[in-house]
Amino acid sequence: MDNVFIIGLLQATLRMATPILLAALGCLIAERAGILNIGLEGQMLCGAFFGYLTVYFGGSLWLGMFAAGLSGVLLGLVFAYLTVTKLNNQMIVGAAFNMFALGITGFIYKAVVGVTGTTNTIPQFKVISIPLLSKIPIIGKLLFEQNILVYLTLLIVPVIWFVLWKTSYGYELRAIGEHPSAVDSLGIDVIKYKYIAVILQGMLAAFGGAYLTLAYANAFVENLSAGRGFIAMAVVIFGSWNPFGALLGSLVFGFADAFQMRMQSIGIAIPYHFMLMLPYVLTVLILAGFIKKAKPPAMETVPYKR
């Protein structure tokens, strides 16, 4: 356990935490407006796929991010229509969205990219070392030797916190999650807020997915997201519906993920399959342990009808 190992582990922690954090931030915004979208997983998968597809066909990495975001926005829009306007059960629609995402990405991947033996890799966001800052011992390598998406995601955290807690928009959005009819009686368009929240949530989740293909694994495989969307939902609870809490929560999961990969590579005695279980077991433990202290928005998953 030398310094190099620990720094590498912590660096990987942040790298693995970023996609979960992006999805968790989106999930948090929607939950604050009273909407729980378990289709988060599917939105991540779609973001990962459409980001990949765009770059695969020669688009730039940023165009890939744009395409991913667009797919998330569209999925969010449809989800909002089905649950906010049509008042359908959010759980059922979310479950259907996950299934849809699994099918449509796998189908288009096989139809367009094909299943030839060679993996179809794409270029990726490169690590950017920030001059001077990256020279700081330990912290420098950890914080200032990452890819651009990690930096941007870390910047979004305080921005979301600021908007939610320091502006009237954020105040109204949070009030909608607690008591929509009171907000409505002030003449504020509850439905509009909910739409915006769900669309933002779709976009951020899709960005998180795109991170997986454009900055992490430079290829696409079926069900690439592998439950990260659900883990992000647990992270939101862990962080008590607060962006900084979500940051902390995703770091815990990033660490679990990074740790199990490193343990495998140095060939420790714990069976490989048990290491793979780690993030999922952790989610269960955290949900069971933290939920009593954490309080969700009062009107979460309850459709609002004027």
Partner 1 sequence: MKANKGIFINGILKPIFYVILALLISGIIILLTGKDPILAMVSLGQGAVGGKRQLAETLLKMVPLLLCGLSVAIAYRTSFFNIGAEGQFLMGALAATWFAVGFDLPAIIMLPMTFVVGALAGGIWCLIVGIIKIKTGASEIINTIMFNYIALRLVGWAVNGPLKDGYLPQSSEVNSGAVLPILWQGTRLHIGFLIALALAFILQFILFKTVFGYQIRAVGLNLKAANYAGIKSAKRLIQTCLISGGLAGLAGAIELMGVTKRLFEIFSPGYGYDAIAVSLLAQNNPAGVILSSLLFAVLRGGAGQMQRNADVSFVIIYVIQALIIVFVVMSSSDKNSNSVIQKLIQKISLQKAEKKVDSKGGA
CB of 94 to partner 1, least distance (A): 9
Q: Nearest Cα to 180, choosing from 170, 165, 194?
A: 194
Q: Are 21 and 291 in contact (CB under 8 A)?
A: no
Q: Which two tokens stand for residue 244?
A: 């900084």
Q: Which window, 8-16, 79-87, 169-177, 183-191, contacts partner 1 (CB under 8 A)?
A: 79-87
8 A C-beta contact, residue 304 and residue 34: yes
Q: Is 299 in the site for partner 1 (CB under 8 A)?
A: no
The reply on whether position 163 binds partner 1 by CB under 8 A is: no
* Exposed / middle / buried, residue 298 (Cβ in 10 Å: 0-12, 13-18, 19+): exposed
Task: Name the DSSP letter for residue 134.
Answer: G
Complex with partner 1: residue 131 or 305, whichever CB lies closer:
305
Length of the chain: 306
Is 305 one of the binding residues for partner 1 (CB under 8 A)?
Answer: no
Question: Using the rule CB under 8 A, is 16 a contact of partner 1?
Answer: no
Nearer to partner 1, 242 or 283 (CB): 283
From candidates 136, 165, 271, 298, binder to partner 1 by CB under 8 A: 271
CA distance 21 to 208: 8
Nearer to partner 1, 158 or 271 (CB): 271
- What tokens were used for 187? 């003449």
113 lines the binding site for partner 1 (CB under 8 A): no
Rounded least distance, CB 132 to partner 1, Å: 42
From 26-34, 207-215, 248-256, 277-285, span contacting partner 1 (CB under 8 A): 277-285
Binding mask 35-64 for partner 1 (x = CB under 8 A): ---x--------------------------
Distance of alpha carbon 223 from alpha carbon 251, whole angstroms: 23
Residues 157 and 245: their CA atoms lie apart, in Å, by: 10
CA distance 123 to 90: 37
Q: Which stretch binds partner 1 (CB under 8 A): 153-161, 173-181, 212-220, 289-297?
A: 289-297
